[in-house]
Amino acid sequence: MNSSSVTRRSVLRTLTVALALVGSATPAWDTTAFAAEPETYALTITHLDHTGRKTADYVTNVTGISGPGADEAVRPYDASGTTTVRLPKGRYLLDSSLTAGGEASGTDWIVQPRLDLDRDTTITVDARTTSPVDVRPPDKSAGFLYSAMVVEVTHGGTTRLANLMNSQPNLRVAHLGPDAEAGSVKQWFDAYWTTENLGYGLGYVFTGNRALAGLTRHPAREDLATLQVRGAARPGTEGTATVDLQPSVGLTIGYSAKLPKPGTATYLVTPERGTWDITYHTPSAPGAPTNRYAANGIAVRAGRTTAHTFDNAVFGPDLTGRPGVVRDGNNVGVDVPLLADGDGHVPSSPPYDAASTTLHRNGVLIGTQSGAPGRAEFTVPRGRATYRITSTAKRDGAPGTATRVTASWTFTSDTTTAPTPAPVSVVRFSPALSPTGTAAADASIRVPVTVLGAAAGGRTRSLAVSVSEDGGASWTQVPVERGAVTIRNPHAGTGVSLRAELTDIGGNTLTQTIVDAYRTQ
């Protein structure tokens, strides 16, 4: 007799039916008991290896998609190679991995995206039907790390997934059964390779009505996009960072590697996989918690290089992808990252020694809150008023670490009936600095100036930028020309501070100061 390993839910259903039979006086009166249970059919699956013999080396999953069996998920098994499981009527996704001969011999993955169970059904999963997945980078010396293949099937508004991870490059795949509906089967494959100096992320996506029956891709160097990850090491933050790379879309595995900093990691990736995500983990200071930065949805193009620098100056406020200040009724919430790095990446745990946010209404203090930089919540009286919010973060350290960052906004706001963004802005300063956050002393440097938030996109009425060489005790205004200012750097070892004063077309203002924005060397 075949034995099957099924989910606990299916076991409980079987027990319920058995109890109804035992307690029944006559079969004619069992209609109520059986009406509560869907009709089931026997699904018999036979597994054959590359010699055509039955094999016990398999893992088979049967996942419900639609119909009475939509919530079923079973993994039937019998060491004889043939297993039977009873399931309700419905559309199912079946996938089976066969590993006869051991891991070194590779894996055969056979997928049936359309299994319509409406009668007793027998299926044969045959390893002899598979074809190789031959995907490799242009560098023959690259070593294979691992891969993942995923099949996503949609039917009746429901989507189900099957996936397989591999630690060996010799994967073979096949489609089983009839075609599914056009465009209902989406499949992708991601593989990672490495050399002494490069990492490769090779991913491909396919959409149709069948699972893949083999895959061959040998991209040339010019077919790939280059992603560079630069890790900075300002004073006191030297060490080793961790870089994680993976596609933005779909279930997958990622590539993780250590990066001594300062340093640069280079990856070659396939544009066909879509956008890519980078996560950068770095100790912010000895004994401090690990700081996490993320750059998600990075668009890449074949033959082009995209670089992201993490944890480097100029640290300052950022409003990318967020309103910053929101009023909801009579509640005002502040969420402005004050210590985003020079590329605008927001840290998970920015090092700081003190931080506070203060709110004034019509010149009267509403309150002050301490805690995370740029974050606070206040309750304000009803009605229209002029508000001033000031957020400050202070931290000890050498020049170039943004020892004090302050942003002060004024705007007019009235009671709202739903969450409504307040018209606040910030200014990003983006000079090209060394991996240690420094610029050449006694030389001129161009500092791009970018407005984010309410005043972006031509909604700036006025913008003035000033520079200080004495920690903000005195300031010298410098002209903003073609989106940048030019600064003549002072002697080596000096911290250069930056200030922006902005008014948007609605009369809302910003005063932003970064003391020790970068240092000279």
Could you say which residues of the chain have pLDDT below 70? 1-37, 103-104, 284-288, 398-400
Q: Which residues pair with 317 in a beta bridge?
A: none
For residue 36, the model assigns a pLDDT of: 56
For residue 101, the model assigns a pLDDT of: 75
For residue 103, the model assigns a pLDDT of: 66
Asked if residue 499 lies in contact with residue 512, where contact means CB atoms within 8 angstroms, the answer is yes
Sign of the torsion formed by the C-alpha atoms of 256, 261, 263 and 264: positive
The distance from CA 257 to its chain's CA centroid, rounded to whole angstroms, is: 17
Helix, strand, coil % over all residues of the chain, rounded to 5: 5, 50, 40
- pTM of the predicted model over 0.75: yes
**Nearby residues of 128 by Cβ (< 8 Å), 6 or more positions away:** 48, 50, 52
Cβ of 291: how many Cβ atoms within 10 Å? 22
Q: What is the DSSP string of 205-250?
A: EEEESS--S-EEE---GGGSEEEEEEE---TT--EEEEEEEEESSS
Asked if residue 102 lies in contact with residue 158, where contact means CB atoms within 8 angstroms, the answer is no
Selection from 338, 327, 407 nearest residue 372 by Cα? 338
CA gap 481, 433 in Å, rounded: 20
Cβ of 116: how many Cβ atoms within 10 Å? 17
Q: What is the DSSP string of 11-74?
A: HHHHHHHHHHHHT-SSGGG-HHHHHTS--EEEEEEEEE-TTS-B-S-EEEEEEEEESTTTT-EE
Q: What is the DSSP string of 79-148?
A: TTSEEEEEEESEEEEEEEEE-TT-GGG-EEEEEEEEEEESS-EEEEEEGGG-EEEEE--S-TTPEEEEEE
Asked if residue 56 lies in contact with residue 153, where contact means CB atoms within 8 angstroms, the answer is no
Sheet holding 444-453, edge to edge: 425-429, 444-453, 484-488
β-pairing, 171-175 vs 425-429, is unpaired
For residue 399, the model assigns a pLDDT of: 63
The reply to whether domains 1-218 and 221-310 share a CATH topology is yes
CA gap 511, 446 in Å, rounded: 21
Q: Which CATH architecture has domain 221-310?
A: Sandwich (2.60)
| Domain definitions of the chain by residue range | 1-218, 221-310, 325-520
Angle formed at CA 403 by CA 453 and CA 351, multiple of 5 degrees: 80
CA gap 516, 399 in Å, rounded: 5
For residue 310, the model assigns a pLDDT of: 96
CA distances from 323 to 26, 334, 444 (A): 70, 9, 35
**Nearby residues of 256 by Cβ (< 8 Å), 6 or more positions away:** 242, 243, 244, 245
Residue 454 phi/psi, 5-degree rounding, is -60, -30
- pLDDT tens-digit map of 111-124: 999 999 999 999 99
**Nearby residues of 434 by Cβ (< 8 Å), 6 or more positions away:** 521
1-218 sits in which CATH class?
mainly beta
What do you get for the CA distance between the two ends of the chain, in Å?
Answer: 80
For residue 398, the model assigns a pLDDT of: 62
For residue 239, the model assigns a pLDDT of: 87
For residue 345, the model assigns a pLDDT of: 97
Cβ of 429: how many Cβ atoms within 10 Å? 25
Asked if residue 112 lies in contact with residue 126, where contact means CB atoms within 8 angstroms, the answer is no
- pLDDT tens-digit map of 245-297: 999 999 999 999 999 999 999 999 999 999 999 999 997 666 667 889 999 99
